[in-house]
Amino acid sequence: MKLFSLLDPVKAGRSERLLALLLVSIAVGGLFYFWSYDPASPLVQVPPCPFRTLTGLYCPGCGSRSALIQLAHGNLYAAWRLNPLLILFLPAAGLFLLSQVRILLTGRSLPRLFLHPTLAWAIFYLILAYWIFRNIPLYPFNLLQPTIVN
């Protein structure tokens, strides 16, 4: 059983190219935001995580924004301490973004990755386990909680 396979690239139509333009524009804008963000600035207030506010627990995404800011400033260790699962999934997000750039420039995607349903469910259970484990206040699980390091 193959857990994933590469499918042939597809020729993008007009709607796919417009979607690629939108996604690449959002990514470039987000990268600029994360790179130029100054956490010490009192003018920028970011709303807290609604799940954390309501429950007092961390969601799988807690710390992601701060992790991306740290990563944009070249601090991989601080980004890892804020949300290690995000850092592990970034190569897949980068490959997706690269495919969108190629669609935008050439009209053809990179070879598409097809995940076997077993692997897709495994990723889902990994995220679910991460969500549960990062809320256990005992060592070593507390290492998964978002931690600001300097």
User: From CA 58, how far away is CA 49, in angstroms rounded?
Assistant: 9
User: From CA 98, how far away is CA 87, in angstroms rounded?
Assistant: 17
Over 90: is that where the pLDDT of 132 sits? yes
- Of 81, 44, 43, 75, which is closest to residue 62 (Cα–Cα)? 81
- Domain range summary for the chain, segments of one domain joined by +: 9-36+62-144
pLDDT class of 85 with cuts at 50, 70, 90: very high
User: From CA 122, how far away is CA 26, in angstroms rounded?
Assistant: 29
Find out whether 145 and 58 touch, Cβ atoms under 8 Å: yes
How far does CA 137 lie from the centroid of its chain?
24
Least confident range from 3-12, 30-39, 127-136: namely: 3-12
pLDDT for 123: 93
Q: Give 10-43 pLDDT, tens digit per residue.
A: 777 778 888 888 888 888 888 888 888 776 665 5
